[in-house]
A and B are shown apart, each in its own frame.
Chain A
Amino acid sequence: MDAAANFEELTVGIENTQTASTGPAKAKSGRILFDRDSRDTVGEPFVEDARMTCRDVNVYYGDKQAIKDVSLDIGRNEVIAMIGPSGCGKSTFLRCLNRMNDTIDTCRVTGQITLDGIDVYGKDIDVVPLRAQVGMVFQKPNPFPKSIYDNVAYGPRIHGLAQNRAELDDIVETSLRKAGLWEEVKDRMDQPGTGLSGGQQQRLCIARTIAVSPEVILMDEPCSALDPIATAIIEDLIDELKQQYSIAIVTHSMQQASRVSQRTAYFHLGDLIEVGDTAQIFTTPRHQLTQDYITGRFG
């Protein structure tokens, strides 16, 4: 009957026990759980020597604001996970980073996003080289209806990265090797990419992204359409790729976020609520909303 009141009581109860059991170190320094109404970003959104920086980014779809004043850095050679309930704006934010939102007519972005110190929304910035530098892997594997070879060679071809066929072969092979797919497909490069299994297709899409040698790879729930085995392979791959690239990954799986990322950012209804070391976010969240989410209270 009075569900709201019960919920409140329960929350307070859990809060108390948590403060008592897990929070002694911080409790001494007066660990504060920011309450639900607070929308300021908690934690450490900025890093030294960042690859990409975002300052006060707002995104609007028509009149509706999807992202509110988000400031966040993406460091070098790190995996940053973005988590949050559906519709919280994490995918929208990700798509701002390589201006994929440009393809949506009603979408408007304000604020500043830089890549290696250069404003990606600057007047003289062309999206074509930008998207070569900031690659993207999508939720559903989307290989082109072309051969495996042509799928990987597509990016290098449109950007003119190879002078001749041998160089192109080389790029294709290297990319497929990095994506851990080479051994599985090397004998059937001329077969359609759509004929591979879901996990292989997703690795093909990753190889396709790597082939244009980006600096940052954006991944929008790359494993949500895959089975656990394929997911594990992709996660291992992400771990290897971070040696070379900065990776921002949106995921609905908190286990995945804790397995693959070094930093985690929690979004809620367009606000960046909390960001910090992955271990810290999942063990001692400082914001009530983050705690609610990771303890499965909602989402």
Chain B
Amino acid sequence: MMSPSVIFIAILLLMSAAYYAGRKRALAVAGSRAGLARMHSRPTYYGLLTAMWCGIPALLVFSSWSVFESGIITHLVVAGLPDAIRDLPADRLNLVVNDIRNLVSGNIVSADIDQTMRSAADHYLELQAISHASLAVVILAMTMAAIAILMRIIAPGLRARNQVESIIKWILIACSTIAIFTTIGILLSVLFEAIRFFEKISITEFLFGLKWSPQMAIRADQVGSSGAFGAVPVFAGTLMISAIAMVVAVPVGLLSAIYLSEYADRRFRAVAKPLMEILAGIPTVVYGFFAALTVAPLIRETGIGLGLDVSSESALAAGLVMGIMIIPFVSSLSDDVINAVPQAMRDGAYGLGATKSETVKQVVLPAALPGIVGGVLLAVSRAIGETMIVVMAAGLAANLTANPLKTVTTVTVQIVTLLVGDQEFDSPKTLAAFALGLILFIATLILNVIALHVVRKYREQYE
């Protein structure tokens, strides 16, 4: 039986065979060294062209076949089921189809296996085998036809090099559009779920409500049956923690960047810069327990010593540690833009008798400022999106407070807690996660666009 993986490997083998065939054909057409010179392209390009025409259509057919195969087979199997089952409501029917699929792949099935199920599964298997066989035939025919056609048209006048170049260009375009379409896809999926949420909870209540308590009653008489979906406390928490993080990260990161790029000698820089970048490589979960187990108790004890009321999980702990995490972002980006300021600027200032700190403060930093702002905005969007540290160190209670010693929660933490575990996917509680995600996405998108714009503007300045 031709399983899809065998077919895939066969395509790859056929492609390499096609390459050698095309190359050999080109050499044969050329005949001699003089003939080779008359060929439009080098033999390798004829080989590549043959391999591409052989492989790319086959791979496209293969992938679209794989995508649509199970849907079509399922449809056919359902059509063959007895009317009694076919007339079931959609969700029940889905369960039956799932059972059939599980039966086919040998997994545990939920319902009892009766004769209809058994025969449906057999039917499924049969269709699958037919599908695979026909796929193999189609692909083999396509590749062979491609090779045969190419063998025929390889001639000194065939502009193989240009064709290969343009095919490569299209492959690159396809890859870059994948990234764009994925972004659009994510945005749309979040958007549709968010719209479903806003059908149940009004958008004004979500954006301006001051109470966040995403509970939904399973029964009407349940305690706490009414949920509150005012996102203000959640966003306030995000803002506060991000602000604390930036208060830590921007001065430390920027000043260390200035030291490293303007003052430090080369040897120190060679050691210190990679060390700082290690900070960026530490997994955020490690920062998380550092915050929860080391920093938070420290803050709490210090606070108690000063007679303050400090929660064991506080915005301050999460913000401080997040700031430390972001330092390398700020310092590395600032370092790059500071180094990009032409040496001529510094020479000009030094030549007028400016001291080092005057030069940095009055010439280098103003020249680098747009780039630094861009870097800081990127760091802010990183801080807003950060989850793990906050989950572990800031707590879950959505307090609307300006006191950084209290427990707060953030958008990302709420998304995690709303979606973790078994959930109904149409209750406002879970849908709220999508609404939060959408707003977060829009916020970071705007920040990133501004940051990129600022950075680009800076780049144009010296050219």
CB atoms of B345 and A128 under 8 A apart: no
Q: Which residues of A contact B344 (CB under 8 A)?
A: 138, 140, 142
Chain A, interface size: which category?
20 to 34
CB < 8 Å: which of B346, B353, B363 contacts A103? B346
Q: Which residues of B contact A145 (CB under 8 A)?
A: 345, 366-367, 461
Q: Which residues of A contact B342 (CB under 8 A)?
A: 142
Given A105-B265, A105-B266, A132-B353 contact (CB < 8 Å): yes
A145 to B346, CA, bound (A): 12
CB atoms of B350 and A208 under 8 A apart: no
Chain B, range 358-380, C-beta contacts under 8 Å to A? 358, 362-363, 366-367
Asked if A182 is an interface residue, CB under 8 A from chain B, the answer is no
Q: Which residues of A contact B367 (CB under 8 A)?
A: 144-145
Q: Which residues of B contact A105 (CB under 8 A)?
A: 265-266
Beta-carbon nearest neighbor of A140 in chain B = B344
CB atoms of B353 and A209 under 8 A apart: no
A129 to B351, CA, bound (A): 11
Q: How many residues of B contact A (CB 8 A)?
A: 21
CB atoms of A131 and B352 under 8 A apart: yes
CB atoms of A131 and B348 under 8 A apart: no
A208 to B353, CA, bound (A): 12
A129 to B354, CA, bound (A): 9
CB atoms of B352 and A138 under 8 A apart: no
CB atoms of B350 and A159 under 8 A apart: no
A196 to B174, CA, bound (A): 44
CB atoms of B265 and A131 under 8 A apart: no
Q: Which residues of B contact A128 (CB under 8 A)?
A: 353-355
Centre residue among B354, B367, B461 by max chain A CB count within 10 A: B354
Beta-carbon nearest neighbor of B366 in chain A = A145
Beta-carbon nearest neighbor of B461 in chain A = A145
CB atoms of B351 and A194 under 8 A apart: no
A137 to B347, CA, bound (A): 9
CB atoms of A154 and B352 under 8 A apart: yes
A97 to chain B, nearest CB (A): 11
Q: Which residues of A contact B266 (CB under 8 A)?
A: 105
CB < 8 Å: which of B347, B354, B358, B461 contacts A142? B347
B320 to chain A, nearest CB (A): 35
Main secondary structure of the interface of A (DSSP, over half): helix
CB < 8 Å: which of B347, B354, B366, B461 contacts A158? B354
CB < 8 Å: which of B265, B349, B350, B355 contacts A144? B349
A96 to chain B, nearest CB (A): 13
CB < 8 Å: which of B345, B346, B349, B353 contacts A130? B353
Q: Which residues of A contact B353 (CB under 8 A)?
A: 127-132, 155, 158-159, 212
CB < 8 Å: which of A138, A146, A159 contacts B351? A138
Q: Mark A113-143, 1 if CB is under 8 A from B, else 0.
A: 0000000000000011111100111101011
Q: Mark B328-360, 1 if CB is under 8 A from A, else 0.
A: 000000000000001011111111111100100
B430 to chain A, nearest CB (A): 52
Centre residue among B342, B346, B348 by max chain A CB count within 10 A: B348
A254 to chain B, nearest CB (A): 25
Centre residue among B342, B347, B367 by max chain A CB count within 10 A: B347
Q: Which residues of A contact B358 (CB under 8 A)?
A: 158
Asked if A74 is an interface residue, CB under 8 A from chain B, the answer is no
A105 to B266, CA, bound (A): 9
Centre residue among A128, A137, A145, A194 by max chain B CB count within 10 A: A145
A202 to chain B, nearest CB (A): 12
B262 to chain A, nearest CB (A): 10
Q: Mark B36-59, 1 if CB is under 8 A from A, else 0.
A: 000000000000000000000000
Q: Which residues of A contact B461 (CB under 8 A)?
A: 145, 194
B24 to chain A, nearest CB (A): 48
Beta-carbon nearest neighbor of B346 in chain A = A103
Q: Which residues of B contact A205 (CB under 8 A)?
A: 348
CB atoms of A144 and B363 under 8 A apart: yes
Q: Mark A147-186, 1 if CB is under 8 A from B, else 0.
A: 0000000110011000000000000000000000000000
A130 to B351, CA, bound (A): 10
Asked if A246 is an interface residue, CB under 8 A from chain B, the answer is no
CB atoms of B351 and A136 under 8 A apart: yes
A136 to B354, CA, bound (A): 12
Q: Which residues of B contact A100 (CB under 8 A)?
A: 347, 350-351
Q: Which residues of B contact A264 (CB under 8 A)?
A: none
CB atoms of B348 and A138 under 8 A apart: yes
Beta-carbon nearest neighbor of B356 in chain A = A103
Asked if A278 is an interface residue, CB under 8 A from chain B, the answer is no
Asked if A261 is an interface residue, CB under 8 A from chain B, the answer is no
Q: Mark A203-218, 1 if CB is under 8 A from B, else 0.
A: 0010011001000000
Beta-carbon nearest neighbor of A103 in chain B = B350
Asked if A41 is an interface residue, CB under 8 A from chain B, the answer is no
A135 to B352, CA, bound (A): 6
B455 to chain A, nearest CB (A): 16
A144 to B276, CA, bound (A): 31
CB atoms of B351 and A131 under 8 A apart: yes
Q: Which residues of A contact B355 (CB under 8 A)?
A: 128
B346 to chain A, nearest CB (A): 7
CB atoms of B348 and A132 under 8 A apart: no
Chain B, range 223-269, C-beta contacts under 8 Å to A? 265-266
Chain B, range 281-311, C-beta contacts under 8 Å to A? none
Centre residue among B344, B353, B354 by max chain A CB count within 10 A: B353
Chain A, range 201-258, C-beta contacts under 8 Å to B? 205, 208-209, 212
Q: Which residues of A contact B347 (CB under 8 A)?
A: 100, 103, 136, 138, 142
Given A105-B265, A144-B367, A146-B366, A155-B346 contact (CB < 8 Å): no
CB atoms of B345 and A155 under 8 A apart: no
Q: Which residues of A contact B348 (CB under 8 A)?
A: 138, 142-144, 205, 208
> What are 9 A-B pairs at a CB distance below 8 A?
A105-B266, A128-B353, A131-B353, A135-B352, A158-B352, A158-B362, A194-B461, A209-B352, A212-B353
Which 10 residue pairs across A and B have the least CB separation, nearest first? A142-B344, A131-B353, A136-B351, A155-B352, A132-B353, A142-B348, A128-B353, A145-B367, A158-B354, A144-B363
| Residues in chain A within 8 A of chain B (CB atoms) | 98, 100, 103, 105, 127-132, 135-138, 140, 142-146, 154-155, 158-159, 194, 205, 208-209, 212
Sample of 17 further A-B pairs with CB below 8 A, known A142-B348, A154-B354, A158-B354: A100-B350, A105-B265, A105-B266, A129-B353, A131-B351, A136-B347, A138-B348, A142-B342, A142-B345, A142-B347, A143-B348, A144-B349, A144-B367, A145-B366, A155-B352, A155-B353, A158-B362
